[in-house]
Amino acid sequence: MSTIVTEIYDALREAGASEEKARKAAEVVANFDSKNSDVQHEFALLKGEFNTVKWMLATNITLTLLVLGKLFLH
């Protein structure tokens, strides 16, 4: 168990929880932390993809405006 999970386990034991319940609660916290880390990683990937799409859109709009400007000004 990690330090934080061990601290939770110890705190629950001191509060009077049974060993089984304290261990189960500490495991739930550890699983939540793991899932939270996975979600944060996926969010970072999506944020990077969104930035790429923004750049692609800006480039497309710029090139479209240049083509339209050249078409109408000449």
Per-domain residue ranges of the chain:
3-73
Q: For the chain, which residues score pLDDT lower than 70?
A: 1-4
**Distance between CA atoms of 47 and 37, rounded to whole angstroms?**
15
Quote the pLDDT of residue 61. Answer: 98
**Distance between CA atoms of 67 and 46, rounded to whole angstroms?**
31
pTM score, whole prediction: 0.49
Quote the pLDDT of residue 9. Answer: 86
